[in-house]
Amino acid sequence: MISREIVQKFKKIVGKDNVLADKSELLVYECDGLTFHKAAPEAIVFVHSAQQVAEIVKVAHNEGIPFLARGAGTGLSGGCMPVEGGIIIEMSRMKRILEVNLEDRYVVVEPGVINLELSKAVNKFGYYYAPDPSSQMACTIGGNIAENAGGPHCLKYGMTTNHVLALEIVLPNGDLMHLGSPTADYPSYDLVGLFVGSEGTFGVVTKAWLRLTRLPQQIKTMLAAFHSMLDATDTTSDIIAAGVIPAALEIIDQVTIQTVEASVYAAGYPKEAAAVLLIEVDGLKAGMDELAEKMATICRRHRAFEIRTARDDKERDQLWAGRKKAFGAAGRLNANLYLADTVVPRTKLSEVLGKVYDIAAQYSLTVANVFHAGDGNLHPVFVYNGKDKEETERMLKACEEILKVSVEAGGVISGEHGVGFEKKEFMELIFTPIDLTVMQKVKDVFNPQGLCNPGKVFPMRKSCGETSVLDKIKQKGYDFFPV
């Protein structure tokens, strides 16, 4: 337990109103968007500057207290769940946009800036920040960097890692350090690229230089509805094969369509459709109509029974709302949701998706699929009742099977949500002990004591020097299978 003296030290650094150490106040910090696992922190420290982060981390480092940084807590792999207790450094108050440099097309921001707010702030200049995770209305840049967040439009524009130019970080020993530069080809190992996606285990981001992207001259968003899922996935393959990389290519399945349409997020998707394909193309106006027609022809060839193009921004937003709020709408189906995030080669999409439905049927579960079809990134959502222990176990087994069939098809266990706490035991499905040892060596360079976000990414027995978190959880009596 953190002593009163240490809490006093924290209060001295950030002010007494910026430390929460009362048990009742800590409850909301027990988990992130993955509500399945929970563990309570011992204190929350709200920071307002890089200097404060450095000082807090230094105290934690000297006292041997586990710590992790948390933004909006929208992550879906338990990345900011404090599995070993310790403190959470709350970053959301570091939310200033420090510089907008249009000439060099980058911004400098603090990590607590909300993803969508950043785009809004630069839209008036004709720019935006391209990575758009579905939680972009809430999630923060710091979390995006830690997880290497994706989103529907990374099909064309790449993930977070392709848009981070430089970082200011606090290392797990409390040292403040710059990585990289907003100028090109900085002569060093690509530590920025290494840091992005390190899931909060290499240190805390305190400032980020991010690339801005020019708003496209025109955007066309189309909906194509199919009577069979196979037709929809075949359409996506054919679009890619036709030499077009749309800005986004998303599939929404029947369960989701019906759920969304019955909810406040109703997007006007045809209810009788087995699958809806959202196609977005962007770029220059010249040739765009022809390009859209080309897409439509491919859809028709695969028996699309309805093709609709958004006529204005409002219609476009409506089409997207169904996709982006699908997860929220699925909450209507049952008490709890569990979302998987595997990626398979594009050519294996239909096959693996078929297996996902088979697995759900085999385990008598309801599964909804809303996914980034263009990338081969599947998002099966299981709806289950968490109070039902037996159903919960079945659901977990089904998820494990999905990971396995994805890996067997040449895929991976996470496309954009991260390994975090949730999937660490499955790392061995894709990595050998040597692969993991190399990763561990690199982690040890940044985080030799293992105090920075412990219990993540690595399977338990591979994580040298860290005692079993599961054991600790048992000892501490954490609510491991919560509602």
Partner 1 sequence: MTTIDGLEPRDTFSPTTIQELSECLAQAEREGNAITPVGGGTKLAWGNIPSRVDYVVRTEHFNRILDYEPADLTVSVESGCRFSTLQKVLREHGQFLPIDPPYSEQATIGGVVACNASGPLRFRYGPVRDMVIGMKVVHASGEVSKAGGRVVKNVSGYDLCKLYTGSYGTLGIIAEVNFKLQPMPESEKTGVVCFAALSEALEGVRKILNSQLTPSAMELVDPEALTVINRELRTELVGFALFLRFSGLSQAIRWEISEITDHLFTESRIVIFDDDTHQTAWNILVDFDKYVERGNKNRVVLKFSVPFHKMAEFFESTREMAKTLSYVTFNMAHVGNGIVYSYLTGDPMDERIKEKFVLALKQVRERTARSGGSAVVQAAPPPIKRVVDVWGFDRGELRLMKAIKEKLDPKHILNPGRFVDRI
Site for partner 1, residues 326 to 385, rule: CB under 8 A: 343-347, 372, 375-377
Subset of 429-458 contacting partner 1 (CB under 8 A): 430-432, 434-439, 441-446, 457
Q: Which is nearer to partner 1, 18 or 181 (CB)?
A: 181
| 197 is a site residue for partner 1 (CB under 8 A) | yes
Distance in Å, CB of 102 to partner 1, minimum? 8
Distance CA 222, CA 403 (A): 31
| 241 is a site residue for partner 1 (CB under 8 A) | yes
Closest among 141, 150, 132, 140 to 417, alpha carbons compared: 150
Q: Which is nearer to partner 1, 291 or 296 (CB)?
A: 291
Give the SS3 label for residue 46: strand
| 198 is a site residue for partner 1 (CB under 8 A) | yes
Closest among 141, 136, 133, 132 to 167, alpha carbons compared: 141
Distance CA 86, CA 99 (A): 34
Distance in Å, CB of 237 to partner 1, minimum? 6
Of positions 177, 262, 335, 361, contacts partner 1 by CB under 8 A: 177
| 481 is a site residue for partner 1 (CB under 8 A) | no
Q: How far apart are the first and last CA of the chain?
A: 26
Query: Going residue by residue from 144 to 163, which x/- string records binding to partner 1, judged by CB under 8 A?
Result: ---xx-x---x---xx-xx-
Distance CA 121, CA 79 (A): 28
Of positions 27, 98, 137, 245, contacts partner 1 by CB under 8 A: 245
- Non-local (6+) Cβ contacts of 213 within 8 A are 105, 127, 128, 129, 130, 157, 163
- Provide the sign of the torsion angle of the four alpha carbons 320, 323, 324, 326, taken in this order: positive
| 302 is a site residue for partner 1 (CB under 8 A) | no
Distance CA 440, CA 427 (A): 13
| 412 is a site residue for partner 1 (CB under 8 A) | yes
For the chain, the helix, strand and coil percentages under 3-state DSSP, each to the nearest 5: 40, 20, 40
Subset of 66-95 contacting partner 1 (CB under 8 A): none
Q: Select the span of 246-254, 307-315, 317-325, 409-417 touching partner 1 (CB under 8 A).
A: 409-417
Q: Which is nearer to partner 1, 186 or 265 (CB)?
A: 186
Q: Select the span of 45-53, 84-92, 114-122, 183-191 touching partner 1 (CB under 8 A).
A: 183-191
Of positions 25, 287, 293, 464, contacts partner 1 by CB under 8 A: 287
Q: Which is nearer to partner 1, 9 or 462 (CB)?
A: 462
Q: Which is nearer to partner 1, 322 or 411 (CB)?
A: 411
Distance CA 160, CA 155 (A): 12
| 237 is a site residue for partner 1 (CB under 8 A) | yes
410: left (phi over 0), alpha (psi -120 to 50) or beta: left
Beta strands in 246-305 (DSSP E): 248-253, 275-283
